[in-house]
Structure 1
Amino acid sequence: MKLLSVKMNDFLYYVGVNDRDTHLFENIWPLENGVSYNSYLIVAEKTALLDTVKITKVSDFTTKLREAIGDRDLDYLVVHHMEPDHSGSIETIRELYPNVKIVGNKKTIEFLNEFYGITDNLVEIKDGESLDLGSRKLTFYTTPMVHWPESMVSYEEYSKTLFSQDAFGGFGALDGTIFDDEINLDFYHSETRRYYSNIVGKFSKSVQFALKKLSPLDIKMVCPVHGPIWRANPGKIIELYDKWSSYQVEEGVIICYGSMYGNTQTMAEVIARELAEQGIKNIKIFDVSKTHHSYILSEIWKYKAVILGSCTYNNDMFPVMSNLVNTLRMNKIENHLIGVFGSYSWSGGAVKSLKEFAEDGKYELIEPVVEAKCTAKEADIEELKKLAKNIADKLKADR
């Protein structure tokens, strides 16, 4: 009886692992609920392992793999993506199964050499080519820059399963459940959007290209390398990735502020109240010093308008606000309204920098830009209300 691996159907096993120890994904993004590293084993006339896991979890991984494969040898190791949280255990697999052939595209093979010095027992696969496993066959489709240049997916026609590497993945460990029909999708929806916006979002145009490329396939199950496996409703995760990668947004406003002594925070509260009085219901305020920018970016990805406010710190933005702005700049978000406000004491700088950011990006800057000296006076408050009303009017015009 298989106790640790999960038999998914008559030929496919789940041999992935959970990571509840790592605090920061890529040493940047908080993992309050952990993350999974998914790996799959095909057992047909030939055997094929699809991706490995982060080296820190290699013991659990190899235990599951040995249980699933039994006394069979491992014929192939398919590498869809070379990021070390998926390729980190390749050397261990080669030690356990010296005859294994590693399957990857040209760029994968370059990375194998650069990361691990691997130059032998390699099978180069090209876009559209297949790997014959006997009664099962994997066909490969390159998906460059989703989200590395060597990234590719594979499709098993008999079960109509897409092995999608980082695409369609999400944060969150799999707590005893691995399939979409076993889990609370509300939680995974939020963590999947946070994963998309922070890890994949910059490459949204490449995601759109990949979605079009894969659209002719009849997909009954999606098996990513992070997060749940989509067997009950694979169209749901594909639909979400299409929505996020085409910058489809909902009516709402995200207000982010950086404040040392509360004056800029007060300005944010004035804007929020006026938005509410103008009939906007989805309003969220974030103190950038308290909320990690990965959560803020996820919410900005969801809603149409973002308003950024910063106190001046050494003639520029508050440093934590600057971190958020750099994240937004890196991810090249489109189809958003943006408002800017802030405060200063003896010399300005923050609002100027925020305005330059808004004008340089693919945002629609909504006037007025509001800057208060020390604290917001009556005239400043009126300008803040005007900013809120103008954004609300834009949002309501799209209803």
Structure 2
Amino acid sequence: MYQPIRLFDDIFYVGVNDRRTHLFENMWPLPRGVAYNSYLIKDEKIALIDTVEIGQVEKFINKISAIIGDRAIDYLIINHMEPDHAGSVSIIRNLYPEIKIVGNKKTLPMIEGFFGIHDNVLEIKEGDELDLGSHKLQFYMAPMVHWPETMVTYEASKKVLFSADAFGSFGTLDGAVFDDEMDFSYFHDEMRRYYSNIVGKFGSPVQKTLEKLKGLDIKVIAAAHGPIIRSHIQEVIDWYHRWSSFDTDQGVVIAYASMYGNTEDMVEVTARALAEEGIKEIRIYDVSKTHSSFIISDIFKYKGVVLASPTYNNGLHPNMEALVNKIQHMGVKNHCLGILGSFTWAGTATKRLKEFGESLNWEIIDHPVEEKHALKKTKYDECRMLGKLLAEKLKN
């Protein structure tokens, strides 16, 4: 038995929680799991908005049946084709063979490609409306937020935005599904970690989508992951504006690799200098211990970045190289970069980190600090100076 969860009298949440999967997309850690959100509108016509990941389909079907009984679903709205949302499409089609699958011109070829479905589909365009009876659904394209076929669905009478991955978050819904039922502060960091790692590369398309949606009166944001937002709507929209424009806070992320502690010593000295200069938000991460998704999330939050690596086989430490490759791939903008490095017989790490910063047009703080062997007085003072110069840049 399932107790229906209502957004409104005839709009229901039928999503599921996944507390077993360790890595989202086989990449991003899920310390508190993830929710796959789906929604059902029960009207003269019944519409299901998105499905769930295939491993959770039994719970999903049981929740739907608890609401509609033997009635058939008339429409399946597909906002986004990624398998964590569209994974159950074939099963839904088999259970409801007359269902009409609704998507845009970029969605429909994916439906055929993934599932071999090409009949009983409805192609919709920007601004089209689907009449369910008392509920009218309107569709708006949101390409590259974060796949090319992504769209959002707006229910006009209750002013609900079914936003696909936009405004989504890692983390399961532990009893509470609405933002005002829970300690929503936890989801601030997890929403930023989700955005920065999953959507972060596509800041410009996100900005365009936000501008498009500005004219809608939105009372509820029903995303495909994370809480349903009804009390913090403007707040989360403002977060997306900031993250997608790379608008950051005064703070510093220090990410380092250190095999035997010499590079870490340089980091500690630089961090102390930053603190003495009044920088209160300092986050230090060992790239061999902390997953890159948490580091990247904080880089989207703070303007200052210090990267520190020993030279390893004439290059960067492999874990540092993996981090900078991800940041470079995302095209992260508008940061100040301090560089630290150490070596034993030939130093190239600082050179590689400088090239990385230049490739993103980051502002590089005067001359990288590179030490041979253990940290000594001259380089100690240079590490302090690097911290001071970075602090001055952030404060000004």
SS of match in other structure, 1:8: strand
Task: Report what 1:141 is aligned to.
Answer: 140
For 2:362 and 2:269, the matched residues in 1 are separated by 23
For 1:375 and 1:4, the matched residues in 2 are separated by 63
Displacement of 1:123 in angstroms is: 0.2
1:171 paired to 2:164: no
Percent identical residues: 55
Equivalent AA in structure 2 for residue 292 of structure 1? H
Equivalent AA in structure 2 for residue 209 of structure 1? K
For 1:4 and 1:199, the matched residues in 2 are separated by 32
For 2:309 and 2:297, the matched residues in 1 are separated by 20
Task: Report what 2:208 is aligned to.
Answer: 209
Task: Report what 1:112 is aligned to.
Answer: 111
* Contact 1:368–1:386 under 8 Å retained in 2: no
For 1:249 and 1:118, the matched residues in 2 are separated by 44
For 1:143 and 1:396, the matched residues in 2 are separated by 36
Equivalent AA in structure 2 for residue 194 of structure 1? R
For 2:116 and 2:4, the matched residues in 1 are separated by 30
Displacement of 1:392 in angstroms is: 0.6
CA shift digits 1:169-189 (9 cap, x unpaired): 000000011000011111111
Equivalent AA in structure 1 for residue 290 of structure 2? T
Question: How do residues 250-261 of structure 1 correspond to structure 2 at under 5 angstroms?
Answer: 250-261=249-260
For 1:321 and 1:183, the matched residues in 2 are separated by 37
TM-score normalised by L of structure 1: 0.98
CA shift digits 1:155-182 (9 cap, x unpaired): 1110011000000000000001100001
Displacement of 1:396 in angstroms is: 1.3
For 2:29 and 2:361, the matched residues in 1 are separated by 27
SS of match in other structure, 1:251: strand
* Contact 1:332–1:362 under 8 Å retained in 2: no
For 1:65 and 1:348, the matched residues in 2 are separated by 61
1:314 paired to 2:313: yes
Displacement of 1:366 in angstroms is: 0.8
For 1:185 and 1:231, the matched residues in 2 are separated by 12
For 1:69 and 1:239, the matched residues in 2 are separated by 37
Equivalent AA in structure 2 for residue 59 of structure 1? E
CA shift digits 1:310-334 (9 cap, x unpaired): 0111010000001110111111111
TM-score normalised by L of structure 2: 0.99
The RMSD of aligned alpha carbons is: 0.9
Displacement of 1:368 in angstroms is: 2.1
CA shift digits 1:325-368 (9 cap, x unpaired): 01111111111111111101111221111110011113111112
For 2:237 and 2:250, the matched residues in 1 are separated by 22
Task: Report what 2:72 is aligned to.
Answer: 73
For 1:251 and 1:383, the matched residues in 2 are separated by 22
* Contact 1:368–1:383 under 8 Å retained in 2: no
CA shift digits 1:63-102 (9 cap, x unpaired): 1011111221100000000000000000000111010000
Displacement of 1:3 in angstroms is: 2.7
For 2:3 and 2:76, the matched residues in 1 are separated by 20
Task: Report what 2:184 is aligned to.
Answer: 185
Task: Report what 2:36 is aligned to.
Answer: 37
SS of match in other structure, 1:106: coil
Displacement of 1:242 in angstroms is: 1.1
SS of match in other structure, 1:305: strand
Task: Report what 2:264 is aligned to.
Answer: 265
For 1:201 and 1:150, the matched residues in 2 are separated by 17
Task: Report what 1:150 is aligned to.
Answer: 149
Equivalent AA in structure 2 for residue 353 of structure 1? R
Question: How do residues 1-399 of structure 1 correspond to structure 2 at under 5 angstroms?
Answer: 3-397=2-396
Displacement of 1:232 in angstroms is: 2.0
Q: Mean alpha-carbon deviation: is it higher for 299-308 or for 2-11? A: 2-11
Equivalent AA in structure 2 for residue 23 of structure 1? H
Displacement of 1:231 in angstroms is: 1.4
**5+ residue gaps, structure 1:** none
CA shift digits 1:85-139 (9 cap, x unpaired): 0000000001110100000000000110111111111000001111111111100
For 1:378 and 1:164, the matched residues in 2 are separated by 55
Displacement of 1:233 in angstroms is: 2.6
Equivalent AA in structure 1 for residue 232 of structure 2? N
For 2:70 and 2:235, the matched residues in 1 are separated by 38
